[in-house]
Structure 1
């Protein structure tokens, strides 16, 4: 029987934490700090089945929505920038996307972290394209939202019969998902954190299914997502998401819709 060496695990965790946070790492002084090094960074962040870019996006979105301290959000933003895994303009888009799925307050937490870290690193501001820069036809906006919804969710939308549904069609899909400053696959990971945190059954099930049915996320990646998310949201929340992911892996494999 092979033995796991705690010294090796701690060394791996310290090295990974330094890379992921983009800062020097002090020796832990509490059991909680030790667990960040010896489990979260040594065992979760080093797993191969979820790319580092996805882990950063999940970590940042989770940190902003699950009550982590601002310093933790800053750590993930700094690590993403210093390792060149995610660019500054993409992080601005990520904050906008998070606002839609977790509320503008949580999106603002991430946006402010990006500002703090970019300022500390001496990075020049980026000029992202505005939400809209010129007038456009209302019907065009509606049609674009319908088409983007069908592509992202892999099923056609119903008629927008309430102000809430109009907002989904016209802004969420008609404007925000159409933006090309952040790729669709990256938007998936932020969306998944948002819907998982919401606890809302329909968004959780439909978005988990769509992430795989669209081809954006592989089944093994989705299982790894649950572990990454669980380190910030807690095991009880992650347990529920794990059950949904397993169910939807089977449905997608069989060509079945998310419901029924």
Structure 2
């Protein structure tokens, strides 16, 4: 971009042709810059059977250098047929990525099936279990898997049953809201809620609903000035809109 105009572009990641699908859901598709790297999510694309397979890009968090080069310490760079960009796997549909929290780490929100929406803190090379373990079920109410945990697979830091349909998230990193500092704000589409979640030592110790019932909460972010902006989009409540949250004046 130069003077507000799009000047040039370069493809820095592209899946293989044989891994393309015409299914129109579970894209993931969030991007975050952290620790000198570019992270992005790819959902399972409605094909959960491929998520545990490292030769597929779906159901993964990927990590690149800013120019598209593969970091030399990516965990599966030497695994035959694996996508070398994979950072973590076993994800269903990561809809939110943010950096911060009490440990300055990298957090994601994930859509579960019917129930089992999650907040995870992806770590290099780790497996987050989908579709082998989940706290949710099939949409028709039948059992998806008998397992909610398994050796070698990570448990979520926080999960919701029933589902809130997690979307965008952000970490509060401003003195504008001192009582919320380092908490994670989580959007809820189906629930029409905005949650504030506090983590201590990797565990969720508080979950407060800040907004409810005025629209599907699609995303949340914080400006450099510290104000919090919330994106709503639901025709039931009128056109899409952006709300600003300010601290209560003394």
Q: TM-score, normalised by structure 2?
A: 0.27
Structure richer in strand, relative to its length: 2
The TM-score normalised by the length of structure 1 is 0.26
- Structure with the higher fraction of residues in helix conformation: 1
User: Looking at CA atoms only, which structure, 1 or 2, has the larger radius of gyration?
Assistant: 1
